[in-house]
Amino acid sequence: MTMRLNFLLLLLFTSTVTLAVEPIHVTVGMYPFAPFVELKGSQGEVGMTLDLVAALNKSQKKYYFDTFLIPPKRRYQSFKDSHYDVIFYESKSWGWQDINVDVSKVYQEGGEVYIALKKPERNQSYFTDLTHKRMIGISGFHYSFANYNYEEEYLVENFNMLLTPDNDRNIKLLLNGRGDIAVVTNAYLKRFLLDYPNVSPRLLISEKLAQKYNHTVLLRPGISPSVHEMNTMLNHLKKTGEMEKLLEKYGLN
């Protein structure tokens, strides 16, 4: 009887310890947004977001972050439907104004630039007035020149905009003369020109940013981790140099 009781107590203690160290599962929403998330065929999803999630998992044991891929336009409804609780590389001004979210501190900056085909008569003033120019951008994205309205009908009607899923297609469409100005992520353009240096002489690139990013993390209110915990974890990655390594890897430093 005593041995059986001891065995049950040991089993209960072991189960309690196991439960105590089980990490809290946190689902991170993400959508194609180079260089943060890219779809690479057989490689699957790659990019800064996935590396950042891996770094967070490695740096602590309280939480386990995994990723959930969504189309850009579906990210709001997917959040409302509780398909995920956290999303990186976002801004409250990108369509989240009417959705209840907690917002982290800005942890990274970036931006977009305008590009056009280089011609003798074109200079930086070409990017000043976008009227009567065919714009090329990414479906579901928010652009400052359009007052952050991402509705396809509005963008097509007001800017004759050609919309595709990614920066790579947009650059190639521009090179093929399918539009006048493309809006591309600055970091992605730098990497593209490293891969295709022969393209650089063909492009006129805006000296001023078309849009500046102040990247934050958006979290569902009341979940763990809290905003304070998320800020602490990101600060830890900065202090240890892990964040700088990621920025350097993707040309974002």
What structural domains does the chain harbor?
23-108+213-249 (3.40.190.10), 111-211 (3.40.190.10)
E strand or H helix at 211: strand 211-219
The per-residue pLDDT for 10 is 55
Name, in order, each residue with C-beta under 8 angstroms of 123's C-beta and a sequence gap of 6 or more: 204
Pairing of strands 203-205, 108-117: antiparallel
Q: Given a cut of 80, is residue 43 above it in pLDDT? A: no
Task: Give the mean model confidence (pLDDT) for residues 166-180.
Answer: 94
Task: Give the mean model confidence (pLDDT) for residues 153-170.
Answer: 91
Q: Give the residue, 250 or 102, on which the prediction is more confident.
A: 102
Contact in structure between 71 and 215 (CB atoms under 8 Å): no
Closest CA to 80 of 224, 218, 226, 216: 218
- Band the pLDDT of 8: cuts 50, 70, 90: low
Task: Give the mean model confidence (pLDDT) for residues 153-169.
Answer: 91
Q: What share of the chain is helix, strand, coil (3-state, %, to 5)?
A: 40, 25, 35
- Band the pLDDT of 18: cuts 50, 70, 90: very low
Token duo for residue 147: 């007052």
- Band the pLDDT of 163: cuts 50, 70, 90: very high
Phi-psi domain of 155 (left: phi exceeds 0; alpha: psi -120 through 50; beta: other): alpha
Residue 163 bridge partners (DSSP): 137
Half-sphere exposure of 192 (CA within 13 A, CB side): 20
Residue 162 bridge partners (DSSP): 136
Task: Give the mean model confidence (pLDDT) for residues 103-131.
Answer: 95
Task: Give the mean model confidence (pLDDT) for residues 34-43.
Answer: 83
The CA radius of gyration of the chain, in Å to the nearest whole number, is 22
Total-model pTM? 0.79
Q: Given a cut of 90, is residue 110 above it in pLDDT? A: no
Task: Give the mean model confidence (pLDDT) for residues 125-154.
Answer: 90
Q: Given a cut of 70, is residue 242 above it in pLDDT? A: yes
The per-residue pLDDT for 6 is 56
> Phi and psi (nearest 5°) for 248?
-65, -40
- What pLDDT digit, counting tens, does each position of 181-201 carry? 999 998 889 889 988 999 999
Task: Give the mean model confidence (pLDDT) for residues 214-219.
Answer: 96
Name, in order, each residue with C-beta under 8 angstroms of 160's C-beta and a sequence gap of 6 or more: 133, 134, 135
* Number of C-beta neighbours around residue 224 at 10 A: 12
Token duo for residue 184: 């591309």
- Chain position carrying tokens 């057989």: 42
The per-residue pLDDT for 197 is 94
The per-residue pLDDT for 2 is 56
Q: Given a cut of 50, is residue 206 above it in pLDDT? A: yes
Tell me which amino acid residue 56 is.
L
Name, in order, each residue with C-beta under 8 angstroms of 154's C-beta and a sequence gap of 6 or more: 146
Burial class (CB in 10 A: 0-12, 13-18, 19+), 222: exposed
